[in-house]
Structure 1
Amino acid sequence: MKKILVPTDFSTCATAAEDFAFMLAKKIQAELIYIHVVITPVDWIKLTKDQENFFPETKAAIAKAKDKLNDLVDEAEKAGLSARKILVYNDGNEKIHKYVASEHIDLVVMGSHGQYGFRDHILGSNTYSMLRRSDVPVFVIKENNPKMKLESLVFATNFKEDTGESFKTVEKLSEELGVKLKVLFVNTPTYFMETNDILSIGKSYLKEFGNYSYDIHIIDAFKEERGILQFAEKSKADGIALVTSGKSDLMQYFSPSVTENLIAMTDLPVISIRKPKK
Structure 2
Amino acid sequence: MKKILVPTDFSACALSAENYAFFLAKKTDAEMVFLHIINTPVDWSKLSKEQENLFPDTKKAISDAKVHLNELIHKAQGQGIRSSKLLVYNNGNIKIHEFVASEHIDLVVMGSHGQYGFKDHILGTNTYSMLRRSKIPVVVVKENNTMAKLKTLVVATNLREETGHAFKSIETLAEVFGAKIKMVYVNTPTYFLETNDIKQLGREYLREYANYEHEIEVIDAFKEERGILQYAKNIDAEGIAVVTAGKSDLMQYFSPSITENLIAMTDLPVISIRK
Query: How far apart are 1:118 and its partner, in Å?
Result: 9.6
Q: Scaled by the length of structure 1, what TM-score is found?
A: 0.92
The CA deviation string for residues 211-259 of structure 1, in whole angstroms up to 9 with x for no partner, is: 0000111110000000000000001000000011156xxxx9xx86210
Distance in 1 between residues matched to 2:263 and 2:83, nearest whole Å: 28
- Using a 3 Å threshold, how does the CA distance of structure 1 residues 236 and 230 change in structure 2: closer, same or farther? same
- Contact 2:153–2:238 under 8 Å retained in 1: yes
CA gap of 1:12–1:109, structure 2 versus 1, over 3 A, is same
Q: How has the CA–CA distance of structure 1 residues 239 and 104 changed in structure 2, closer, same or farther, with 3 Å as cutoff?
A: same
Structure-1 separation of matches of 2:30 and 2:256: 33
Partner of residue 47, structure 1: 47
Contact persistence 2:187–2:219 (CA under 8 A): yes
- CA drift at 1:28: 1.3
User: Is 1:154 the equivalent of 2:120?
Assistant: no
1:188 positional shift: 0.5
Check the 8 A contact 1:133/1:246 in 2, yes or no: no
Structure 2: which 5+ runs fail to align?
A: none
Where structure 1 has 5 or more consecutive residues not aligned to the other structure, the ranges are none
Q: 1:102 to 1:116 in 2, by over 3 A?
A: farther
Output one character per residue of 1:2-55: Cα deviation in whole Å (capped at 9) or x when no partner: 100000000000000000000000111110000001110001111111111110
- Most deviating of 109-118 and 56-65: 109-118
Task: Indicate whether 1:163 and 2:124 are aligned.
Answer: no
Per the normalisation by structure 2, the TM-score is 0.93
In 1, distance between residues paired with 2:68 and 2:177?
A: 28
Question: 1:32 touches 1:83 (CA, 8 Å); kept in 2?
Answer: yes
Alignment deviations for residues 174-202 of structure 1 (CA, whole Å, 9 cap, x no partner):
11111111111001111111111111101
TM-superposed deviation, 1:125: 1.3
Q: Which amino acid aligns with 1:78?
A: G
Code of the residue aligned with 1:135 in structure 2: it is K
Match of 2:188 in 1: 188
Residue pairs, 1:21-32, within 5 angstroms: 21-32=21-32
Count of aligned positions: 267
Identical aligned pairs, as a percentage?
66
Partner of 1:75: 75
Which residue of the partner structure matches residue 95 of structure 1? Answer: 95
Runs of 4+ residues deviating >2 angstroms: 114-121
| Residue of structure 1 in register with 2:11 after alignment | 11
Secondary structure of 1:149's aligned partner:
coil
